[in-house]
Each structure stands twice: as structure tokens, then as C-alpha cells.
Structure 1
Amino acid sequence: MINFEYLENNLNDLRLQYLTASPFAHLIIDHFCNEEKLIKAYNSIPELSNKSRDYAFANNKFEKSNYKELGPELHELYDAFSSERFNKIISYITSKSIFVDPKNHGGGLHQGKKNSFLDMHLDFNYHPINKNWYRELNLLLYLNKDWKKEYKGGLKINDLRTGEEAELDVPFNRLIIQQCAPYTLHGYDLTNFPPGHFRTSIATYAYQIHKKQIEQPRTTDWFPKDNASFLKKQFAKNYNFLVKTKNKLFGSGTAKNQ
């Protein structure tokens, strides 16, 4: 499914692109998968009805964690992402010893329907179960068939240290590897997809094992737009505390991989 030979034959170029990208480390890889297989995978995806865990700071966004159930091509992709071969590739590109979570906690198939958006945010940093796994990468594979800029929904990334920002296109069969750090904000603006078309992606996360936690564990830090309502800004300000409290009382949906 994954075009492994292309990746392995271009490791030095890919590493250089990743490490020198701005506003922070990221990498765009087009034709990431075998096109024919990925089209079959795309055609096996139904309209999703399970609302995303990001519902507080997202609109009309749906997800399926265990997307490998949807067909053989998606099962092959799921296995390829967590393979030792792929782990070696991303470790070389990032110059770190990292690996994809084989159970993909918090990740999965994401579908943004009409007027979907995702406010700028920082992701959780330590794995919900394996507390010494530090999240180093988001691996975002886009399945937006015949995507055009006017459909919107490009991945916006912003360096919280400098305020520098970029917006990355999200066409079909593009993988974006994005560094995760305390300053790597990301999200997307209100979409404008045609009826019957959705902003579709598969999210996978890669980790490094830490002997000692180097950051205070967090859930998600949410950064609403400047013109957001006062109530929304207050909710965002206290969101991390509220989620931690909810997890203590009722358990974490991410830990349950729901």
C-alpha cells in the first residue's frame, strides 16, 4: 500500500525537507500510497456518524478509530503504518528513535462534513495509557478526491513561539508529517466542499519513549480565533482542566480508543 521504495530511495532529501521546513518541522509527501489501492480504500469509506472527540473545538467532524474494519485496503494501510519498516523510515527522517502507536489511540479516519472546521490547538503530549510515550509526530494522510483550493480545509500550522503561519494543501494521496511540540498549533478553517463530498483524512501518531517526562502532561490546548465569543474563550482557557477532571471521573475516550 505505502510506496516504501520511493521513501527508502529518497531518505536524505526527505530528512532535509522535514528538518528545515518552516514555521516548524513538517514534511509533505505526495503519491504516498499506491494510487489504485488508495482509490479502492477511499471507495470503501461510508459516511460516518460517530462524532469526533474534538467536538468542543470542531464543527461537524466525525471519526472512526478502528478504520481497518472498513475493507482490506484500509486494513493493509493500518498495518503498514505500524510496521517496523515504516518506523525505520520516520526515525531516519526525524533523526529520532520513534514508532507509530500500533493501536492508534486517538487517531483514525476523520470526516469533516458541511461547514466543518477545527480550531487551532495543541495535541495531547503523553500517551493516555503508556505514560512515558511522548508524541513526536502527527501523520496525516489526506483522501480528498479531486480537491480544489476553493473547497478550503487546508491544514493550517502556526508556531506559537514566533506566530509564523503556513497553510498546506490537502489533496488526495498526500501525507503530511507534522512535528508535535508545545508550540505546534494546527487546525483548519471552515470548509466549502460540494454536497456529498467530505474533508477526509487518516490520522496516525508516532512516539518516542522517555525515561523521564520532560513536560507537564496535557490533554489538548485550544486556541480560538480572536473574534470568538467571550464564553468560547473562557471555555478554551479551562478546557485542559475540564477534560482532565472528566477523565478522572468517567475515564478517557482516547485511552479506550473510542
Structure 2
Amino acid sequence: MINFDKLEENKHLLREQYLTAIPFPHLIIDDFCDIEKTNQMLDLIPELENKSRDYMFANNKFEKSNYKELGSVFNEFYEDLKSERFNNFLSYIACEEVFVDPKNHGGGLHQGKKNSFLDMHLDFNYHPINKNWYRNMNLLFYLNKDWKKEYKGELKIEDLRSGVKRELDIPFNRMIIQQCRPYSLHGYDMTTFPEGKNRTSIATYAYTNHKNILETPRTTDWFPNKDSSAFKKFAAKHYNSAVQIKNKFFGIGTAKNQ
């Protein structure tokens, strides 16, 4: 389903684009999948009802982790993402060994409904089960047919070191590969999609195996904007410690998301 021949024929250029992108390494790939099969995927997507656990830091965002059960085209996409062929491509553009989590913990089909938003954040850095797996890349595949700028919802990225920001468009059949580091903020502003349309994407995560733990393991770090309420800013500041306490007594939610 993935247009592998296109990726491999252009891998030298794509590696250069990824490594030199500003504000931090990322890559935009249009026509990522076979168009007929991608249209089939879109037709099979139901109205999702499982609301995101991000609570106050996300609005009207719904998820389905096990999206491959929606149909054979979804399963084919899932299998392609975790294939050796795709892992080899990711490793080439990153200049280090990278592999997609075969169980896609924490990922899945995401649907942003009316007035959806996701505050700027840093993702968890080490895998909740495989403790030496370092989260190296976010793979965000967009299924927004006939998307227009006025709908908003662009992927916003920002480098915490420099403060440099970019907004990346999210049209249909586009893959955005984004490096994950302690400075790679991302999120999206409130959408204005018309009735009957949603901000739709499939999120997958790729890792590098670390012999030694190089960063203090963390959960999601939230960075609400300056106009956010004092309560939200307080919650963001203490989110990591609160989640660690919750995980100790009730288990890791991301680890259960299969």
C-alpha cells in the first residue's frame, strides 16, 4: 500500500530534506500510499467514540488504537508500516537504526471533531514496556480529503532551544515524519472543519534501541499557550509527577493501548 518504490528511488533527497529541515528534522511526503486504497480507507472510517485521555490539553479528540480491524486496507497499511522495508527506509533517512513499534503502543487512528485542538507538547521518550526503546520519530499520516487552510488544524512544530516555529499543512495522503527529542514541541490549534468533516490522521511511532538510558524517562510534557487558564498552566507543570503516581498504582495507560 505504501509507495515504497517512490521512497526508495528518492531516498537520498529525502534524507537530505529530513536532516536539514528547520526547526528540527522532519519530512513531508505526499502521495505516500496508493491513492485508490487510501480512498478506501477513508470510506471505511466510522465516527469514533473513544475520547482521548489527554483531557484538558486536547478538545474533542477521539481515538481508535486497533485501527487495523476496520478492514483489509487498514491491515495492509499497518503491516507496511512495521515492515523491514519501511524500517530500512527510516533508518536510512535518520542515519541511525530506527524501527516502528510493531504493536503501535499509544498510536492509532485519531479523529478531531468540531473545535478540536491539541496543546503543544513533548511526547513520552522511552517505551512504557520496552524500557530501552527511545522514541525517535512520530509518523503522522493524514486523511483529510479536500482540506483547506481555513479549516486550520495544521501540525505546529517548535524547537524549544531556538523558539523557531513552523506550521505544516495536513492534506489527504500526506505523511509527516517528525523527529522526537526533548526540544521537539508539536500540537495543533482549534480547528474549523465544516459539519461532517473531521481532522483525521493515523499516528505511528518509531524507536531506537538504547543500550543505556540516556535521558530521564518522562511522560508527556505539556506547554499550554500564554492565554490558557492558571489552572491549566498549573496542571501542565505537575502533569508528569501526577501521571507517575497514577501509573504506580493503576498501571500505564499507554502500555494498555493496543
Q: What residue is the counterpart of 2:72 in the other structure? A: 72
The answer (yes or no) to whether the contact 1:2–1:32 under 8 Å persists in 2 is yes
- Unpaired runs of 5+ in structure 1? none
Q: Deviations over 1:132-166 (max 9, x none)?
A: 00000000000001000000000000000010000
Report the secondary structure of 1:162's partner residue: coil
**What is the alpha-carbon distance in structure 1 between the residues aligned to residue 215 and residue 159 of structure 2?**
18
Q: Deviations over 1:37-60 (max 9, x none)?
A: 000011100010001122231000
**What is the alpha-carbon distance in structure 2 between the residues aligned to residue 105 and residue 84 of structure 1?**
18
Alignment of 1:123-162 (within 5 A): 123-162=123-162
**What is the alpha-carbon distance in structure 2 between the residues aligned to residue 180 and residue 164 of structure 1?**
16
The answer (yes or no) to whether the contact 2:56–2:232 under 8 Å persists in 1 is no
**What is the alpha-carbon distance in structure 2 between the residues aligned to residue 234 and residue 65 of structure 1?**
29
**What is the alpha-carbon distance in structure 2 between the residues aligned to residue 53 and residue 213 of structure 1?**
27
Q: Give the TM-score taking structure 1 as reference length.
A: 0.99
Aligned residue type for 1:212: N
**What is the alpha-carbon distance in structure 1 between the residues aligned to residue 224 and residue 191 of structure 2?**
17
4+ residue segments displaced more than 6 Å = none
Q: What residue is the counterpart of 2:172 in the other structure? A: 172
- Alpha-carbon offset, residue 252 of structure 1: 1.1
Residue 45, structure 1, aligned to residue 45, structure 2: yes
- Unpaired runs of 5+ in structure 2? none
Aligned residue type for 2:114: K
Aligned residue type for 1:161: R
Residue 3, structure 1, aligned to residue 3, structure 2: yes
Q: What residue is the counterpart of 2:120 in the other structure? A: 120
- Alpha-carbon offset, residue 244 of structure 1: 1.0
Q: Give the TM-score taking structure 2 as reference length.
A: 0.99
Which range moves more in the overlay, 55-64 or 187-196?
Answer: 55-64
Residue 86, structure 1, aligned to residue 86, structure 2: yes
Between Structure 1 and Structure 2, how many residues are aligned? 258
**What is the alpha-carbon distance in structure 2 between the residues aligned to residue 151 and residue 190 of structure 1?**
9
Q: What residue is the counterpart of 1:102 in the other structure? A: 102
Query: CA RMSD, aligned part only?
Result: 0.6
**What is the alpha-carbon distance in structure 1 between the residues aligned to residue 79 and residue 42 of structure 2?**
17
Aligned residue type for 1:218: R
- Alpha-carbon offset, residue 127 of structure 1: 0.2
**What is the alpha-carbon distance in structure 2 between the residues aligned to residue 126 and residue 32 of structure 1?**
27
Aligned residue type for 2:70: L
The answer (yes or no) to whether the contact 1:55–1:61 under 8 Å persists in 2 is no
The answer (yes or no) to whether the contact 2:69–2:75 under 8 Å persists in 1 is yes
Aligned residue type for 1:242: A
Report the secondary structure of 1:47's partner residue: coil
**What is the alpha-carbon distance in structure 1 between the residues aligned to residue 110 and residue 145 of structure 2?**
14
